[in-house]
Amino acid sequence: MNLLDKLNPVQRTAAMHTEGPLLILAGAGSGKTRVLTHRIAYMIEKGISPYNILAITFTNKAAKEMKERVNALVGNDAVWVSTFHSTCVRILRREIHHINYDNSFTIYDADDSLKLIKDCIKEANINEKQFPPKSVQAVIGGEKDKLVTAEEFERKSQSDYRLSQISKVYSLYQKRLKSNNALDFDDIIFLTVKLFTARPDILEKYQNRFQYIMVDEYQDTNFAQYSLIKLLSSKSHNLCVVGDDDQSIYGWRGADISNILDFEKDFKNATVIKLEQNYRSTQNILTAANAVINNNISRKNKVLWTENEEGRNINFYKASNDLEEAQFICEKIEEHKNTGGSYNDMAVLYRQNSLSRSVEDMLVKSNIPYKIYGGVRFYDRKEVKDVLAYLKAIYNPFDDVAFKRIINTPKRGIGDTTANKISEYAIQNEMSFFDAMKNPECLLELGTRAKRIEEFINLMEELKSFAYVNMVSEVIEYVMEKTGYIKELETEGTDEARSRIENIEELMNKAGEFEESSEDKTLSAFLEEVSLVADIDGFDDSSENVSLMTLHSSKGLEFPIVFIAGFEENIFPSYRSMFSGDLSDLEEERRLCYVGITRAENSLYLTSASQRMQHGQIVCNLPSRFLKEIPINIIDRNMQESKSKFEASGNIGKTAPINAKENMKSSFGGKNYRENPIPAPKNITLDFEIGDKVKQMKYGVGTVKDIRPAGADYEVSIEFPGVGVKKFMAHFSNLKKA
């Protein structure tokens, strides 16, 4: 049998095209890995030396799989197959001395890098609160991805105070890296390009070595990676890139879609081959995907098709709230399982990590095994574990693990050395970590740090007293305020920090639901319920699990049945993409939707909720605009309400005004959300009233329409121009009179 007989005609054409620039536009599920491996095998069979072939992927897993497949086809594993970073490290190990580094350099991971940046911030006499290290790290990494040196960054940032301060850190940071003979992750490609630019003889050496270059997932390359590939291929011009502009979803981390869109401009006389036959999904799923992505302007036209059956319609379910949405998902999972299916067949995808919490809780209650991929489980996320550690320490003063976690979280000047001394004293004197902190003899040994320990003890005693007489949700809010945890994250200002705040708000939502549904509303009962969720992964010894992951993490995977939860405006597409003013942001969200849809093989469920708790407020988001882009004849609509009044309004892009009587339904028992009178919060006063203008961090200035007691806080309804009515917890959201 001929090596290429298993390929379809278009795949075969791509595999046999070995000379000159080649762009293979590989639609979702079109067999691109098969084409790449057969192309390599064909080149070797044709007489091209495997020594002259370089194949670059984005993950070690993909590189390993490609190498194994090539070896199985032709019995030769001499082809250089690796990731961008692995390729560059191999080159730098041999050549970096040419740019005055030692070949025995070390590589700093993100934490090592962050520690060094903190030292540089301190050395530059810059206020760390004004310039959070993670923000500085992100800026420096972004500049390196654009091949901007510290010197170039200094020149271009002179007129901007913030950037000029970061420039000082960047310069110091690079000097410290150099003196430590270390590279950070971004340096690996950055310095390889610098090496090739500074030493044309070294570049030519590798151009002669790699006469045939292939790059997978080309749509995900940044400027530094593009520059590296262009340098290496500029002699032979035998560059083959494989990718799909419709699956370019990593712009937020530096990927530049123009690399694939402009391939023919950058590489003259390029050939373009489109792989449009899909082997994964039913035709209805592909019809939905094609219809959605066709609304993007910046793309190369292609239409996925399949010889598979037409298949089931897309199922859209609109629940009355997020818990009902999670219940629907679990019911469908059980339906599939009870009819002979496997849990492994199913995946629940979501735009934001915080959306997983209600689904996880319902999976636990339904006794359904699951695994989180591409991220940590909700209750295992750092910020959630930090808050729970405070609650555990308040409840149980003998919980040494909890106290060690929070003693310097957020930072209060109690370092590891001090904590270790306390721990040693506690062990030697057979007492708890907290009792050791309070011991006068131990405090004496701590010297100048004793005052900070005493302040921490007083804080914990205050939190314990508050927790004794208040509800769990009130305690969480009080802990966040008194410790300054939220304030520190707000100051950091990164996407990661905002995500952490969202997860803390989601934990507060969980506490509120617990208080409404549980007979025992004590802190101990809450911690017990949360512990059940946190530990449930081990309840089933089988390998069968429903997969939970973000849409970004799902890329490259496939499942017979896919649920996309939170299919709503302000969530998917995200609020930021809708109102950034940059069309490319919304187009990337649409590409993410395309990726999510094409993960499904046989069945696709899109779910939304009429109302959900989001960012500490109850919101009524409209169904996602992407729903209207799917042909109506292939959608089965299953609405909890007989008529979707939010869809009928046509106000896509706005949050619907909230009607307390019609929409504020409890998640438990269907009772009206405001049926029972709630007393005014204790120790909270507002400097505004109905009719006043107030300022909110995200939406700006709006008019107060309603103020109601809400347990530990006031619930405030605010109308914002062009946005509509939003609800906030006044104290938690730090609302101020404008």
Q: Known catalytic residues?
A: 32-33, 216-217, 247, 599
Rounded Cα distance between 211 and 49, Å, is 10
SS (H, E, C) 427-446: HHCCCCHHHHHHCHHHHHHH
Which amino acid would we find at residue 637? R
**Order of strands across the sheet that contains 700-710:** 724-729, 713-720, 700-710, 693-696, 736-737
**Which residue stretches of 644-735 are H helix?**
645-649, 660-663
Paired with 636 in beta bridges are: 315
Left if phi > 0, otherwise alpha if psi is -120 to 50, otherwise beta: which for 697? Answer: alpha
CA neighbor of 284 nearest in space, from 261, 256, 305, 260: 305
| Angle (deg, nearest 10), helices 185-198 and 200-209 | 100
CA neighbor of 87 nearest in space, from 99, 76, 95: 95
CB 568 within 8 A of CB 623: yes
Alpha carbon 352 to its chain's center: 7
**Which residue stretches of 180-282 are H helix?**
185-198, 200-209, 223-233, 258-261, 263-266
Three-class SS state of 26? strand
Pairing, β 271-275 against β 22-26: parallel
Alpha carbon 515 to its chain's center: 30
- Number of residues assigned to the chain: 738
Cα–Cα distances (Å) from 401 to 395, 405, 407, in that order, read 13, 6, 10
CA neighbor of 575 nearest in space, from 489, 493, 654: 654
Q: Phi first, then psi: what are they for 63, rounded to 5°?
A: -65, -45
CB 4 within 8 A of CB 31: no
* H or E element, residue 165: helix 161-179
**Residue 186 in tokens:** 């971004």
CB 111 within 8 A of CB 191: no
Which amino acid would we find at residue 427? I
Rounded Cα distance between 268 and 263, Å, is 9
Rounded Cα distance between 108 and 114, Å, is 9
**Residue 731 in tokens:** 């104290």
Burial of 637 from C-beta contacts in 10 A (0-12 / 13-18 / 19+):
middle
Rounded Cα distance between 595 and 591, Å, is 6
Rounded Cα distance between 689 and 705, Å, is 9
Rounded Cα distance between 318 and 213, Å, is 48
Rounded Cα distance between 536 and 530, Å, is 10
Rounded Cα distance between 373 and 346, Å, is 13
Torsion angle defined by CA atoms of residues 343, 346, 352 and 353, in that order, rounded to the nearest 10 degrees: 20
